[in-house]
Structure 1
Amino acid sequence: ITNDKGRLSKEDIEKMVQEAEKYKSEDEEHKKKVEAKNALENYAYNMRNTIRDDKIASKLPAADKKKIEDAVEEAIQWLDGNQLAEADEFEDKMKELEGICNPIIAKMYQGAGADVAGGMDEDGPSAGGSGAGPTIEEVD
């Protein structure tokens, strides 16, 4: 806060600086709360979209898919009813949802990774083979 035109007294400036400091912590708390809420919301909707993706849905057992769907719907319902919750409440809900979804998704990717790796042919191109990169010519 500056006094470019000399319109503010020293006391006015001091008062404004003190108010800015006073509200700084409140602003930071509000920012933290909004970020935590947005993170939970984004994660829930991303998980919902992920399990609705045909490529992924086909790799998930029905029970696991239902478990994620139920957890996501419950989190979204909780968000709708708790818009004014504190940051730590949003963070706790996020951990709870991640605790349900992450192991299932990780298990699915591990299973898919094993299928992909198991399908590699021995005859496939090897990394570092003679055809694995551009030919470089020395020019003087």
Structure 2
Amino acid sequence: MTKPLNTVVTVKRFHRQTMKIYLRDFENSVDVAKHRKAFEKEEQRIISRNELGSYVFNLRNKLDKLHIPNRLKDAIQETIAWLESNQEAIKEEYENKQGTLKEIANPITRIFFGDTDISGSRG
């Protein structure tokens, strides 16, 4: 009998004269190990699924209470489009656009990043 690599065998019975493990007992211990690994893997999968579900639903509920995530997405897209088409704008126009976007974004970014705005400066 050859033992597979990287397995742990618990010997419960052996032949007294030859001191060999009964093959049936060895196969049973391997089956138990396989089932234990499958159970642990499934348990970790379920824990991960539940953590993701909890996270995503809590996040959705927080954003739903604000009633502005779509407004923020729209403001971001509008600002990107404006920036691409206004490469030669003056300083005040850039500052005005950034201020407008921050008014929409800061309530959301405070939830995610604490009391800082998305640029990392204190807000």
Q: TM-score range by the shorter chain?
A: 0.3 to 0.5
TM-score scaled by structure 1?
Answer: 0.36
- Structure with the bigger RCO (C-alpha within 8 Å, sep 6+) is 1
